[in-house]
Amino acid sequence: MNDGGLTYEESGVADTASAIDGLLGWVNRTLSFRKGRTGDNCLEIGYYANVLDLGHGVALAISTDGVGTKILIAEMMGRYDTIGIDCVAMNVNDLICVGAEPVAMLDYLAVEKADPAVLEAIGKGLYAGAAEANISIPGGELAQLGAMIRGLAPGKGVDLAGTCIGLVMRGGRILMGQGMEPGDRIVGVASSGIHSNGLTLAREALFERQGLTVNSRPGALAGSLGEELLTPTRIYVRPALEMIRNIPGLRALAHITSDGFLNLLRIPGDYGYQIESLPPTPPIFSLIQEAGEVAPEEMYRVFNMGIGLCAVVAASEAEDVLRICRDHQLPAWLIGRVTDGAREVVIHEVDLRGRGDRFERS
């Protein structure tokens, strides 16, 4: 990496791969409690969501995620009406990756102090996200934790997370890369911006190193920096369900979050992925990279770089995926293909090769 270049770890987000082993050791043991019974899990822990067998040809998909430090941008802006959309998006976008239709989400909202105006604004965002994903929010939890939750200003601390469920119905399929083969195509669907990953690195680069504020208006952006960073995560449920139901050659969906295109390696199978042609990178990512002197391999590990969802599909049906995206007014491009051999992601335009959880220069 560049000398002095900012990394995710240096901005305060440490690698949890080794730290989590003890936790997972105990959590994995619980899977035996429903073995052979209703609720038996169908997948190993670690995919986008897990799937529980309910019997009678029905399976329940379940995922959980939160908004993260994007909430600090909301606090800086004094605007909380979009982070609920992010909470819904981060959950439903994971559920569709196992072929499930999201149906409901419960939210967990922890606050330093219960402010009615802030709570209503968060509710407004949750409603907007639920409407876009066509799910209900039949319950949740509000915890006032003044001794634990802290924001940038006294009384302003907020944390928001959700747990979402979906259904894989009789005749449906758990989407896990079945039938994938070399030559299958990768369709990249545009993100709406930074989404809800990498905000710790972005804040360190833009605010601490570069001295910008949420009210700064860099010429490359259409609005203020705060508005750009607060842009809600795009929800892909409607086009994804159309793909799942109507395209037999759809092999897998990959939600491009933290780890970037390395998320493709979550898909089971001894395959590699060649990213051959990407659309222009949205300006926010160039701003972050320049402000923090962040190396390309770190940028592509932490951020989506303009692609929020990848669909892996038989070459003969790639145009059908693109058509569905166009019908939903979503920019999408053929960005690459599946290969046999090394299990890696190669991004040709920036000369990167990724294995495990890291990119390196080719």
Q: Which two tokens stand for residue 179?
A: 């039938």
Alpha-carbon distances, residue 16 vs 12, 13, 162 (angstroms): 12, 9, 21
Query: What is the pLDDT, as a whole number, of residue 172?
Result: 81
Q: Which two tokens stand for residue 39?
A: 């609720």
Average pLDDT over residues 345-352: 96
Domain ranges of the chain: 36-168, 185-361
pLDDT bracket for residue 266 (50, 70, 90): very high
Query: What is the pLDDT, as a whole number, of residue 51?
Result: 96
Q: Which two tokens stand for residue 350?
A: 């920036």
Averaged pLDDT score across all residues of the chain = 95
Query: What is the pLDDT, as a whole number, of residue 17?
Result: 65
pLDDT bracket for residue 10 (50, 70, 90): confident
Asked if residue 73 lies in contact with residue 229, where contact means CB atoms within 8 angstroms, the answer is: yes
DSSP state, 190? E
Q: Is the pLDDT of residue 304 over 50?
A: yes
CA distance 260 to 254: 10
pLDDT tens digit sequence for 198-219: 999 999 999 999 999 999 999 8
Tell me the torsion sign for CA atoms 51, 60, 188, 87: negative
Query: What is the pLDDT, as a whole number, of residue 321?
Result: 98
Long-range contacts of 349-355 (CB under 8 A, 24+ apart): 349/275, 349/277, 349/278, 350/296, 350/300, 352/296, 352/297, 352/300, 354/261, 354/262, 354/265, 354/300, 354/301, 355/265
Average pLDDT over residues 108-114: 97
CA distance 251 to 244: 9
Q: Output the pTM of the full model.
A: 0.95
Alpha-carbon distances, residue 96 vs 49, 99, 263 (angstroms): 9, 5, 14
Distance spanning both ends of the chain, measured CA to CA = 13
DSSP for 195-235 reads TTSSHHHHHIIIIIIS---TT---TTSSS-HHHHHHPPPPP
pLDDT bracket for residue 4 (50, 70, 90): low
Average pLDDT over residues 296-309: 97
Q: Is the pLDDT of residue 82 over 80?
A: yes
Q: Is the pLDDT of residue 1 over 50?
A: no
Q: Write the CATH number of the domain with boundaries 36-168.
A: 3.30.1330.10
Q: Is the pLDDT of residue 295 over 80?
A: yes
pLDDT tens digit sequence for 146-196: 999 999 999 999 999 999 999 998 778 899 999 999 999 999 999 999 999
Query: What is the pLDDT, as a whole number, of residue 341?
Result: 81
Query: What is the pLDDT, as a whole number, of residue 16?
Result: 66
Asked if residue 93 lies in contact with residue 235, where contact means CB atoms within 8 angstroms, the answer is: yes
Q: Is the pLDDT of residue 14 over 90?
A: no
Average pLDDT over residues 93-119: 97
pLDDT tens digit sequence for 244-260: 999 999 999 999 999 99
Please, what CATH class does the domain formed by 185-361 belong to? alpha beta
Q: Which two tokens stand for residue 270?
A: 């001894």
Average pLDDT over residues 339-343: 91
CA distance 271 to 341: 6
Query: What is the pLDDT, as a whole number, of residue 171?
Result: 75
